[in-house]
Structure 1
């Protein structure tokens, strides 16, 4: 599968490593507006640094790993050029852009997968197969401050992971979203709190990128007990009767979630197997995040 990469930053570099190593991918080239950075990453992997339209024209599929505020526009252009897309989260920072991606993918029968890689953790644990819906979810996701990612809100940058995990666990998007977000050090919000309602069930989410010590954990209450996941420590404690993998940190899907997600995307394009996170799922997360931030 002839594949290109949009972006040459830190996370795009991780994607480049996966593309270069994948046996079913022919890594053709990459684009970044910073030509020196693009050339450096391209030379590392022996590929071309291209203009964006030329990259789309040459490729069957692209990985979009540029700053989040460009995801919607670049994703739309890639789909219009006929490329399958793995779009890093969020799908877009505007609801209209996310809706356009969903529509184009459907109309043109192109594969779109969104890079909510934390889904691999649920899969490694076995929570996708428990057959029960949660009563409530509480999640905290926080990082020390860094300029990276501040082109968009902490809701879009961090909380969107937990919004998507709620979609996976409840099997639907939220019926109602309530929340607030505020800037502290950035022009965009750095702290966010939200309550998402799924019928009678509820999720309470907190995100911050201005803490001294990062934390990423989730507590899921089921009728039969509780599950607590620490995403940083990769530990699991639960009081349920479910057959869960408490040693999920050793599972290849959790050890290398980016590589596993890339493999799922390749299979979806070449073999017609399901994606990990659909464009519709990405739209659900983006719509909720925008509502929390009070935007459009």
Structure 2
């Protein structure tokens, strides 16, 4: 019994030693390489995050992209390690691909918003505080996340807009430039002193005080309508003053035309009754 036990134990030791010198060595070497790759990946992610931070890349983009980059690299390293040990990886790859297709179909809209959010955060067509307008909504950007952009409308309502809508629709950013042009139309009656309206409008521009001198304001006779002559005022102002200047000029010019007895026509309907 002792001899059999000694032989069995000796055979076990030989088997273990043989495994350690062949397959075990591969496990150890592969494990060390995998450990080093994971550490280098963590270092790469940290350095990439710092570099993106120095370049003022949006924090949301950094928080989302850099960790996922590390996870993808580590996942690839694990797959290579499994294949190095001699395991069949084709079935694992097929299962992952099938799962990816299934999840992709189920989350098609969400993935579209995610991709659009990354595009917005990278290209920066607008930033927080900008007034933007798409085909469906106009408002001031309150927050930008990886999935949605939050806008505050003029009636103080918060609208949650999917990022995919903002990347596929036509988008206007009213704050992309420091100055904007205001175009206003004023109708006056067909009278011999209609040209006085032009001088009155220009005087209102000078009285406003927030209109830019360069480019210079312009008043032109733009249309001979059915019941009025239409003067168009084109004036430039700072973007942040746009709404205030527009409202002030509309009211100021209207009051000035009335005060100077310039007739402002309006549509009339004459009804004739035949007996």
TM-score bracket, normalised by the shorter chain, equals under 0.3
Give the TM-score normalised by structure 2: 0.21
Give the TM-score normalised by structure 1: 0.20
* Structure number, greater radius of gyration: 2
Which of the pair is proportionally richer in strand?
A: 1
Relative contact order, higher structure (CA 8 A, sep 6+):
1
